[in-house]
Chain A
């Protein structure tokens, strides 16, 4: 019987080896390991054997069984892997063909600039405040030390709706309103971005509508050196660590002293070139210490409180930073222009 088992084993293993399809393996399993298969038969015939021989043959039969089963299994695994490999090979794509496009939009360049500036001042503890675009003459001018008939009103010829209502010419009224809500007590630390309007004919450098960001800090013991420090931090983060700032005297009715801030020219490094008109400096923003009349009108005691304010134009900053040469580009919404700055 031993011989029979060996013979069966050899036969089966050979068939497994020769099998080329999964079905032939299944056939081998049924043929040799099935309930009616030869090994089962051998086991059935064990009754004729002696007590001593029985366990030996039994063990051998089980071993043969296992060996055949293992062979089938490993052959099957191998065949499955091969089949999978073949299938995957057939599924392969031309990876160089273009992908299905995803519709991607993006922010307007002005929004990118405004949000960058917002985030920068948020980092310095400022809040963002907003206010109406149609303002009263009082908040747009009078509360900012520009009484009716003040010559500086010439500087910003405005779009009036009635004698008392106009499109705001700057975002400063938001500052006046915010201060007004504090009853002359709490400090204010805010920036206010928004649209503003002036009676200008649209050309490469003028727009009847544009954007402004103004900032205000009112507290006890606010110093002009604080203004210089904050603006310096802003300029370095916005334009680069290697840029210097300078303040020079200017005039705004709502600040005293008033200054304009220049940053050193990136193109020439301060030596003077056509971009900076030979001065080595580029004007970025206006600023100053809040005028005592403005503080008083908002309910603060100018002996006790002081503050600084500043204002800048995101269009101008975008023009400087990205070389935009015509302010009208910001409002015609030319898709080629907009897409160009999505990564700004």
Chain B
């Protein structure tokens, strides 16, 4: 809502505040002021000039040579506007004048003729293009005849005004009118304001002899009032009225339309004028539209209606979509003589539906949607009649033809001083509360500390105690509330074990050299199901998609964090950042339904993607690129950190390198995978060799055993033995290690590969693997013989299972 301070000053005296001070007061007591701006940039030295002579410029077809009286003198001015004419009163920037953009006007020569200044268009005076009336859009502005020659043009054009922009929250639709703003400001500064009575002098003829009103759906249209005004002379509105519309951001059109708009701004009540002679009947019938019914609206569009929409008809055809837009047929035109003026209350939900379905949001629909003041509907009609009488020479017929089932009662809300103080932490007295209610102009009955407040109908937002609590608090001033801390039993706040562990995991990844990334949960459809861990894929039926995505890039919920993370790698690589190591802990979304009806499962995953060089130390000739074992090492480190043993199995995952991908298992379950992404995908995404991991965090949290994680350091010494085995190339080291652990149990506590050899001295197709074994009994010192026996058992087992031979 744009509020002209010059206009506001007409209603309530705010002259003792600067615009900025007033803005601060309004912001602190109720409504946020978003900006305070002058109507136009500063303009100096522009006066009203009278065009005494206007002739063709001798040397230029498109220029005129004018003699302009600016009060004390007469100046020769060259003007290029097509609409300049002798006898006009026009804004003249005399030499020394300054126009917006710090444009200084000087005496000059144009095509050989002296020009002592410039005749201005509204745009040149800083008026926004969209607010300029159409007839002046391509030329200079012309004043009405009654202005004084030599007068300051800026004041006449209201260019010295300041505009306060209010950021209205949905509950404060009362401030969608100048009257509402005046009530609010009056409460804020403890000033005086009441909406003035309308003053209409009707003729002897009665409106009811001209039209009838019928309402078919009273719930959708509880009040419909029709005024009839005859002998209208359509023409421009007075300058002051045009200025006010301009200040509010509404383009002036003609007096009839401008007056309905003016009253909309003043009262917050939208009105509509139909051309009586073009209405096609003298009965007004409001009803639900028929499905498929059409109407040609003012914007020359044909619109198809349904029974969700309310229409104003002449008994047969629709002439307006109620509260949203009028029809083209009965639009007020230059030759209009008689109008029907509609002042109605339309159900907010119905208007909302219409404006939404037709994509039409207007000053009018916005107000109906929020609910207009029931006590101001008819008054607004009267106010428009008053102005039409004055400024369009109209004859107002007596009475209003109406249908009326409108509830105009005021809501009663009880408040108690002690409850208010209990809720606010204050010590406000009964007298202070009474004073606040007076400032708000809310009627009340007081009985000790109880106040029964009648909320005025302009304040539709006030329904219950808490609403009044807010009214009292804001006028009392939030600055005046004390600072206290909550009482009650104190509880120790803190992180849950899972939350602590999650932080520990993140700290681990960062310590291991990974940077945390945060990516979008929404991704493109293909990516939603790409690089999904096998155990997640088994549960997911279809990716969860949005009903109405904004773009294909963000249409589905991810089942893996990896695609968007790879996208982040691409983004960096395109910016010459080659060495990247990211991790993210985030949610993936898995639905077991083909057509989603239930909330999908949300699984917390820890994923990472790495590419480029891992270690580089040039002067020591050390350089290590990221490979499978760098990523595996990071995952193994996590296993160590959480004290949860992981095992790894070669596997295939689509979009992953078929030979460099492993399933990760823990606690007997699949918990994720690691490996290199498929070279084809790398190419597609402009990536170099890239390795990833993806782990199920919730499963890890479940397996984590706080007690076990802090085992005692063993008291007895361990025994270390090495063993080198020759096996077929295809045998996995992990499988042999597993066999060793199993056969050596319970004494073998650790099995570590320390050498892998292939080549000379070994048979073709064979490899040698060397393991270090750690024997330990936590309860006593081991005897050599026991270790010997266990070692023998291990050798037998690996020979049997893997045809492993001791390397000689």
Interface residues of A (CB under 8 A from B): 97-98, 100-108, 110-111, 115, 118, 121-128, 132-136, 149, 151-152, 154-155, 159-162, 164-165, 167, 187, 189, 195, 197, 199, 201, 208-209, 217, 219-226, 228-230, 232-233, 246-251, 256-260, 277-279, 289, 291-292, 306, 330-336, 338-339, 342
A219 cross-chain contacts in B, Cβ below 8 A? 486-488
B483/A223 in contact, CB under 8 A = no
Q: Which of B35, B474, B509, B521 contacts A105 (CB 8 A)?
A: B509
- Minimal beta-carbon separation of A155 from chain B (angstroms): 7
List 25 contacting pairs A-B, 8 Å CB cutoff, sorted by A: A100-B615, A100-B620, A100-B622, A104-B513, A105-B509, A106-B516, A115-B503, A122-B494, A122-B495, A125-B493, A151-B369, A151-B370, A187-B488, A199-B550, A209-B520, A222-B486, A223-B422, A226-B485, A229-B486, A246-B479, A248-B32, A249-B474, A251-B169, A332-B568, A335-B515
Given the contacts A105-B513, A151-B369, A334-B575, A100 and B481 also touching, CB distance less than 8 Å: no
B571/A333 in contact, CB under 8 A = yes
B516/A111 in contact, CB under 8 A = yes
B469/A331 in contact, CB under 8 A = no
**Bound complex: CA of A292 vs CA of B503, how far in Å?**
36
Is B447 an interface position by the 8 A CB rule? no
Is B606 an interface position by the 8 A CB rule? no
1/0 contact trace for B338-363 toward A, CB 8 Å? 00000000001100100000000000
Considering only residues 477-491 of chain B, those with a C-beta below 8 Å from chain A are 478-479, 481-491
A165 cross-chain contacts in B, Cβ below 8 A? 596, 598-599
B491 cross-chain contacts in A, Cβ below 8 A? 125, 127, 187, 189
**Bound complex: CA of A106 vs CA of B348, how far in Å?**
52
B516/A107 in contact, CB under 8 A = yes
B550/A256 in contact, CB under 8 A = no
Considering only residues 383-401 of chain B, those with a C-beta below 8 Å from chain A are none
Considering only residues 28-84 of chain B, those with a C-beta below 8 Å from chain A are 28-32, 35
A251/B171 in contact, CB under 8 A = yes
Given the contacts A122-B494, A225-B426, A331-B520, A230 and B486 also touching, CB distance less than 8 Å: yes
Is B511 an interface position by the 8 A CB rule? yes
A106/B488 in contact, CB under 8 A = no
B24/A133 in contact, CB under 8 A = no
Q: Which of the segments B405-413, B437-445, B577-585, B776-784 contacts the partner chain?
A: B577-585
B470 cross-chain contacts in A, Cβ below 8 A? 249, 256-258
A110 cross-chain contacts in B, Cβ below 8 A? 518
A226/B425 in contact, CB under 8 A = yes
**Bound complex: CA of A118 vs CA of B348, how far in Å?**
42
B513/A223 in contact, CB under 8 A = no
B488/A220 in contact, CB under 8 A = yes
Q: Which of the segments B320-328, B539-547, B767-775 contacts the partner chain?
A: B539-547
Considering only residues 448-484 of chain B, those with a C-beta below 8 Å from chain A are 464-467, 469-470, 473-474, 478-479, 481-484
**Bound complex: CA of A26 vs CA of B426, how far in Å?**
97
B512 cross-chain contacts in A, Cβ below 8 A? 103, 105
A331/B548 in contact, CB under 8 A = no
B193 cross-chain contacts in A, Cβ below 8 A? none
B424 cross-chain contacts in A, Cβ below 8 A? 223-225
A121 cross-chain contacts in B, Cβ below 8 A? 493
A225/B482 in contact, CB under 8 A = yes
A125/B490 in contact, CB under 8 A = yes
**Bound complex: CA of A275 vs CA of B482, how far in Å?**
29
**Bound complex: CA of A306 vs CA of B487, how far in Å?**
12
A162/B521 in contact, CB under 8 A = no
Is B306 an interface position by the 8 A CB rule? no
- Minimal beta-carbon separation of B176 from chain A (angstroms): 13
Interface residues of B (CB under 8 A from A): 20, 24, 27-32, 35, 169-172, 348-349, 352, 369-370, 422-426, 464-467, 469-470, 473-474, 478-479, 481-496, 499, 503, 506, 509-522, 544-550, 554, 557, 565, 568, 571-572, 575, 577, 580-583, 587, 589, 596-600, 602, 614-617, 619-620, 622
Count CB-based A-B contacts (< 8 Å).
251
B489 cross-chain contacts in A, Cβ below 8 A? 187
B28 cross-chain contacts in A, Cβ below 8 A? 246, 248
Q: Which of B170, B423, B596 contacts A162 (CB 8 A)?
A: B596
A230/B485 in contact, CB under 8 A = yes
**Bound complex: CA of A102 vs CA of B581, how far in Å?**
13
- Minimal beta-carbon separation of B619 from chain A (angstroms): 6
A128/B619 in contact, CB under 8 A = no
**Bound complex: CA of A223 vs CA of B487, how far in Å?**
9
- Minimal beta-carbon separation of A132 from chain B (angstroms): 5
B170/A152 in contact, CB under 8 A = yes
A111/B473 in contact, CB under 8 A = no
A333/B425 in contact, CB under 8 A = no
Nearest 4 CB-CB pairings of A with B? A225-B425, A103-B513, A251-B169, A257-B470
Which of A107, A154, A339: most chain B Cβ within 10 A?
A107
Residue of chain A at shortest CB distance from B549:
A159
A134/B485 in contact, CB under 8 A = no
B515/A338 in contact, CB under 8 A = yes
**Bound complex: CA of A336 vs CA of B423, how far in Å?**
49
**Bound complex: CA of A336 vs CA of B568, how far in Å?**
12
B494 cross-chain contacts in A, Cβ below 8 A? 122, 127
**Bound complex: CA of A226 vs CA of B513, how far in Å?**
43
B575/A333 in contact, CB under 8 A = no
B547/A108 in contact, CB under 8 A = no
B487 cross-chain contacts in A, Cβ below 8 A? 219, 221, 226
**Bound complex: CA of A91 vs CA of B20, how far in Å?**
75
A107/B571 in contact, CB under 8 A = no
A224/B30 in contact, CB under 8 A = no
**Bound complex: CA of A154 vs CA of B515, how far in Å?**
38
Q: Which of A132, A155, A201, A336 contacts B170 (CB 8 A)?
A: A155
**Bound complex: CA of A232 vs CA of B481, how far in Å?**
12
Which of A219, A279, A335: most chain B Cβ within 10 A?
A335
**Bound complex: CA of A136 vs CA of B596, how far in Å?**
12
